[in-house]
Structure 1
């Protein structure tokens, strides 16, 4: 296991039910940013970074050969816990590594 330093990104992990819930919650924001409606929106992998809240970098299968890398910031509960999409990269493959952008 690699040491994670404060503010550093975790290793890539398989997506959990919680990560899928985050994806479901921000799907509309992603569709707005990409000007595309997605029938499939399934989280595959993720990385996280604890800051004053949590940043998530999530690989999402959006149907066919469409894979997205999506950055989401989740505010602390004391700050409302809101989730905000801060970045979307299109044109990825299933094999592409999750790299912060």
Structure 2
């Protein structure tokens, strides 16, 4: 039994298993028995941080930092992205803000 899958505009399918040497990156594919697929979302993820720094005059300040991270739309880059990022959470639950103790 085969299933036909089509990815959304900002997604790709990473197909592995029977008949595929490593990983096949495609927008649409027939998924046969013995194969599996993962949907790769190419929507960039935005991470915001506040860095506590000190100027040359020894004045402390808080510097807001924003990182926008997403894969490059190239086959080799997408294969590497599929190998490294597909088993992880999309909303980056492993990055958490540190809890600051409250002063009473």
Normalised by the shorter chain, which TM-score bucket?
A: under 0.3
What's the TM-score once normalised by structure 2's chain length? 0.24
Structure whose residues are more often strand by fraction: 2
Higher gyration radius (CA): 2
